[in-house]
Structure 1
Amino acid sequence: MKPSSPTAAVGTALHLVKTPNFVKFAAVALLSLSVALLFYHHPSFPSAAFSAFTFASLNSTSIAANTTSIASNSSSPSSAILKVKKLPPPPPSVAQRTGIVDENGAMTEDFDVGEFDPSLMEELRDLKGGAEETEKRNEPEIVKYGKFKPCDESKIDYIPCLDSFERHCPDSTLVCIIPMPNGYQKSLPWPRSRDELWLHNVPDTRLVQDQGSQYSMSVKDDKISFQDGGSDQYLNLVSQMVPEIDFGHQTRIALDIGSGIGSFAASLFKYNVVTLSIGTKDVHKNQIQFALERGLPAMVAGFGARRLPYASQAFDLIRCSGSGIDLTVDNGVLLLEVNRLLRAGRYFVWGGPQVDSNHERSLEDQWKEMEDLAARICWQLVKKEGNVGIWCKPLNNSCYLGREIGAQPPLCSSSEDPDNVWYVNMTACITPLPKDGNGGNVSVWPARLHSPPDRLQSIKMDAMISRKELMKAESRYWNEIIGSYVRAFHWKEQNFRNVLDMRAGFGGFAAALNDLELTSWVMNVVPVNGFNTLPVIYDRGLLGVMHDWCEPFDTYPRSYDLIHAAGLFSDERKRAKCNFSTILLEMDRMLRPGGTVYIRDTLAVIGEIHDVASAMGWVVMVHDTSEGPHASWKFLACEKRMP
């Protein structure tokens, strides 16, 4: 074999040096030697390096640069010094640009922000649940409630705001619990209560002693009994005089003014007619209390200067017995208020004149005055028999517009809202009828309960095109909820008769009670701080009234078996006019011993309601809604137990 030449050997060596493996080996060797020398000369290097890497956040490029620097100086170990570069400061943050996309799809900042309605923001919060967050931010200071004490015995029948003729509320509200009468017993169930009631449930029995025979009342043992008193014969007479009245179909909602103890209303219930009995507190003594105790719809009303708190064209039939009420005085302002309340094309029944206590006017004079005023407001006398007269209100404005110039009473101004009723004075003018006939064109009962009325489109509220859907959705919602209450809480077995809905909306709660065949009547309350849905409630064939819940309600203590409030307290918290204890103490005044309260509201207010209700002595239970335990709403089932 021929030995290789020196040149070839050198070439082979150079070739090996240039191979990748050799380069890697050399690099690793140099790096290892550099690190060893560094640890030998600088023992504190590991901790310094860790600190530098941790807090200065050196990137991989800096590490490589420093390693290269150290390696290049490894030939002089004594001069090897670690040099850590300082990172440059971070660049200043740039605000993200926002704007409006123009017609070319590019972002532009050339736009103006116009004015906005703050109320729209509130509505948006309500839709998105923001109202609850606002409530949390504005949540008032937590108040600790001690147990409320009973009021003085003189307050047993206390109605805070009413005198004989007008509504006047005291400056201070009740801060005590109205006591119940000695010997009070749970009210008899309907329909038994229509014919008898417990004697001691009505503390003032002077009406029985003084005028019991007039009202067909008698006392036997511990009960007061009621006889028919001729009401059935009276209704038969009215039906024969004017068959078009058609009780239970064309006539569904009636008003009885100066009603006595509710005998007229009791008889009309047999015809499926719901009759609201109203009377003053002193002139008619406590007749309204007797009516309520019997399970009949009734309210105390002041016949003074202000409008009654009911919608225009609310009642299909209005009756005035004439006892103590003269509708023709003061330019006929009371009869003109009756005209506002009476539905177009429907009937007014006058029970006949009464002998004037001062003997200033004969019965004949009273009839003449009534007939004259009724003719001037375009009422047609349909029938007169004995001491009963029946008039019909016109269907449209043609008669009003055809009167002579300067005829009295005049038409009311077109700017006057006939449904504005809260603390609004009566005016001696004729309320004109809507040109489109709304209010007078309702369906017959029971179809009208679920037929969206025409006045649904004319009431003042936010929704413009989906009102019918809103009304139907509300009815479905309450039908489902009341159905669950009937199954879970056995509502039918509890015999609720007098029911109050404190925030009624379109009346869906009351409609559900009717659909599920509970033997109840419902007073639907429209709060003054909400949309005025009273016309819709009456057009559906339900009762209703407008009220401010920061003031006492116009009724006797112990009036209702069941009180319902959905969303009321969160609304009142936004208004911030009164505290929860004011409203709850009024609820306790109206609630019968043994009665029940159901409150549905947000978590933001349920806790405080629970505290006040417990301080009043109610038994309170918190329940989840159908949305489950994590929903933003709960409901309280409260019971005012008999002692």
Structure 2
Amino acid sequence: MKEYIPCLDNKDAIGRLASTEHGEKWERHCPAGKSRLCCIIPPPLGYKRPIRWPKSRDEVWYSNVPHTRLVADKGGQNWIQSQKDKFVFPGGGTQFAHGADQYLDQMAEMVPELAFGERTRVALDIGCGVASWGAYLLSRNVLTLSIAPKDVHENQIQFALERGVPAMVAVLATRRLLYPSQAFDLIHCSRCRINWTRDDGILLAEVNRIMRGGGYFAWAAQPVYKHEPSSLQAWNDMADLAKNLCWKLVAKKGYIAIWQKPVDNSCYLKRAPGTLPPLCDSNDDPDSVWYVAMKACISPLPGNGLGRNITKWPSRLSLPPERLKAVNSDALQAKPEVFRAEQRYWTAIVEGYLRGLGLKKEDIRNVMDMRAGYGGFAAALISQKVDWWVMNVVPKSGVNTLPVIYDRGLIGVAHDWCEAFDTYPRTYDLIHAAGVFMLEKNRCNAAHIILEMDRILRPGGWVLIRESRYMAAELEFLAKSVKWHTRILETESENLVESGNAFICLTNSYEQDLRTVILCGGRSSVLVL
């Protein structure tokens, strides 16, 4: 139970599956009704406050993730080693035993156009191991989301998160990944044990959906460099499928092959009739992902270039992206103006958080924004030069702003807060939620949301929630029921933090068995922290 993920550990539902041939047992199967546990998940015996970033990139406490299977299975590949009361991460991987930095240098030499930290800002590492590839890309200004299933190496994502590296549990099986179309500038798979060519290339077609036009797919695997018949056949099958997807092989050296996705639809329209995978139906929405089945088809690129014409980092963080035009919202103002206004608002709010709440920057690394909007909270943290990473969550019951979040150079995921999130207990140091309870009040049980927040929050962590005034009493009661330290502060307006009062929400409670929650209410709003 100490590592319980409700929608991935539902053994009853998994046992009733008609088939597990395509990885169905690693997908979401959420408990409902009486089978849904309403309890607090305890930390393991001897749990310590995590080692802080950036030191945590290279070492974590053994007692926080007390599992040695990865050491036994992968220690010889320089993934992870055990030293006294810690696990240490030398920076290696199955295909880069000499270190991730050397491996990244090789990729940059093979394809200079990757331009890490400029053209390439957002990456995805599939089957990531302990996420060393993504961990070392951070120093190159590349934000990598590392994903892997909760499978036989079930704690790899837990190790990644304990290190302070962006990661979540996810699997390529039968459903679309919970990311929008044209999300990632670079997608990487190093010995990720995925049969890319099965079922008419359905899995690589899914990679194609989430890869930006002009983006790159890097594959490090035995078929790239081995020459026995089975490897040659696997390489030929992969090369043929990539060609059918209109990917161009731009580099192949040693054990790495790198393809580039086209920037428009001209190649798709020139393919021979009957070529597989076909183009998707015109009524298919490539950004619809919640419990949507994967499709062995190619999502055409927008004819107007939306999602493709991205400014280099860091300019893309602050410029309204073109896909903002496609966001289906009820905004009365021009959307670029709403975008800029949101950014000004969150910049002021975040400045107040950092000034007035007693948040110690060095004590926080992993952050979640439960209702991210355009990603203004995360962007404001970057502008304040705070070395935290943010998982931007876009609730399925609201406006789908995920494409905009990725176009800004941030990461995020679609989710329904009536269900559990796909991460381990004790993932986040800080959880931010603006309007989540009001949004979901007619759909979800607030107690279930609070319990889920408690599950994924680290001991001693912080919760910051902005809500309507009438929710405050209920939320305070629920917060106290899970042993959170709470404080209510009345305010006069929505501009409470912009007022400059440094003590409006001050707290310094960091006891290991407590979380910190402060409620700040006013005439029109309540801030729950």
Which TM bucket (shorter chain)? 0.7 to 0.9
Q: Which residue of 1 aligns with 2:31?
A: 170
Q: Which residue of 2 aligns with 1:211?
A: 74
**Is the 1:503–1:567 Cα contact (8 Å) retained in structure 2?**
yes
SS across alignment from 2:222: coil
* Unaligned segments of structure 2, at least 5 residues: 10-24, 93-98, 497-520
| Residue 458 of structure 1: how far off its partner (Å) | 1.1
Distance in 2, matches of 1:600 and 1:395, equals: 40
Q: Which residue of 2 aligns with 1:117?
A: none
* Unaligned segments of structure 1, at least 5 residues: 1-154, 638-643
- Among 150, 155, 170, the alignment partner of 1:301 is 170
**Is the 1:482–1:512 Cα contact (8 Å) retained in structure 2?**
yes
Q: Which residue of 2 aligns with 1:392?
A: 260
Distance in 1, matches of 2:349 and 2:64, equals: 33
Mapping 1:498-577, distance limit 5 Å: 498-573=366-441, 576-577=442-443
- Among 625, 628, 632, the alignment partner of 2:524 is 632
Identity score, percent: 55
Task: Please say if 1:333 is aligned against 2:194.
Answer: no
Distance in 2, matches of 1:266 and 1:168, equals: 30
2:84 maps to a residue whose letter is D
Distance in 2, matches of 1:518 and 1:222, equals: 29
| Residue 160 of structure 1: how far off its partner (Å) | 1.1
Q: Which residue of 2 aligns with 1:200?
A: 63
- Among 425, 430, 443, the alignment partner of 2:311 is 443
| Residue 494 of structure 1: how far off its partner (Å) | 4.8
- Among 198, 209, 212, the alignment partner of 1:343 is 212
2:250 maps to a residue whose letter is V
- The structure that is helix-richer by fraction is 1
| Residue 216 of structure 1: how far off its partner (Å) | 3.4
**Is the 2:491–2:522 Cα contact (8 Å) retained in structure 1?**
no
1:521 maps to a residue whose letter is W
Task: Please say if 1:596 is aligned against 2:462.
Answer: yes
Q: Which residue of 1 aligns with 2:451?
A: 585
Encode CA deviations 1:283-332: one digit per residue, 9 max, x unaligned.
43211110000000101013211100001000000001133211111111
Cα 1:438–1:266 change in 2 (3 A) is same
| Residue 220 of structure 1: how far off its partner (Å) | 1.7
| Residue 630 of structure 1: how far off its partner (Å) | 4.2
**Is the 1:485–1:491 Cα contact (8 Å) retained in structure 2?**
yes
| Residue 509 of structure 1: how far off its partner (Å) | 0.4
SS across alignment from 2:77: coil
Distance in 1, matches of 2:114 and 2:491, equals: 44
**Is the 2:70–2:153 Cα contact (8 Å) retained in structure 1?**
no
Q: Rg: which structure is higher?
A: 1
Q: Which residue of 2 aligns with 1:611?
A: 477
Alignment RMSD, CA only? 1.6
Task: Please say if 1:224 is aligned against 2:87.
Answer: yes
Q: Which residue of 1 aligns with 2:19?
A: none
Aligned length: 477
| Residue 354 of structure 1: how far off its partner (Å) | 6.7
**Is the 1:353–1:366 Cα contact (8 Å) retained in structure 2?**
no
| Residue 496 of structure 1: how far off its partner (Å) | 1.2
1:340 maps to a residue whose letter is R
Encode CA deviations 1:236-294: one digit per residue, 9 max, x unaligned.
11000000000000000000000100110111011010000000101432111100000
Q: Which residue of 2 aligns with 1:430?
A: 298
Task: Please say if 1:187 is aligned against 2:33.
Answer: no
Distance in 2, matches of 1:315 and 1:270, equals: 18
2:528 maps to a residue whose letter is L
| Residue 536 of structure 1: how far off its partner (Å) | 0.3
Distance in 2, matches of 1:320 and 1:257, equals: 5
Distance in 2, matches of 1:186 and 1:202, equals: 12
Deviates more, 1:542-551 or 1:403-412: 403-412
Distance in 1, matches of 2:303 and 2:332, equals: 20
Distance in 1, matches of 2:244 and 2:169, equals: 30
Cα 1:626–1:250 change in 2 (3 A) is farther
Distance in 1, matches of 2:204 and 2:115, equals: 24
1:479 maps to a residue whose letter is T
Distance in 1, matches of 2:522 and 2:484, equals: 26
Cα 1:465–1:621 change in 2 (3 A) is closer
TM-score by length of 2: 0.88
Task: Please say if 1:270 is aligned against 2:131.
Answer: no
| Residue 361 of structure 1: how far off its partner (Å) | 7.7
Distance in 2, matches of 1:231 and 1:545, equals: 26
Encode CA deviations 1:127-150: one digit per residue, 9 max, x unaligned.
xxxxxxxxxxxxxxxxxxxxxxxx
- The runs of at least 4 consecutive aligned structure 1 residues that moved more than 3 Å come to none
Distance in 2, matches of 1:165 and 1:177, equals: 24
SS across alignment from 2:294: coil
**Is the 1:328–1:334 Cα contact (8 Å) retained in structure 2?**
yes
Distance in 2, matches of 1:516 and 1:411, equals: 43
Which structure would you say has the larger RCO, counting Cα contacts within 8 Å and 6 or more residues apart? 2
| Residue 625 of structure 1: how far off its partner (Å) | 4.5
Deviates more, 1:214-223 or 1:580-589: 214-223
**Is the 2:248–2:261 Cα contact (8 Å) retained in structure 1?**
yes
Cα 1:372–1:303 change in 2 (3 A) is same
Mapping 1:456-471, distance limit 5 Å: 456-463=324-331, 466-471=334-339
| Residue 626 of structure 1: how far off its partner (Å) | 6.5
| Residue 635 of structure 1: how far off its partner (Å) | 1.5
Task: Please say if 1:241 is aligned against 2:110.
Answer: yes
TM-score by length of 1: 0.72
2:523 maps to a residue whose letter is A
Mapping 1:75-114, distance limit 5 Å: none
| Residue 173 of structure 1: how far off its partner (Å) | 2.1
Deviates more, 1:224-233 or 1:383-392: 224-233
SS across alignment from 2:218: strand
Distance in 1, matches of 2:161 and 2:281, equals: 38
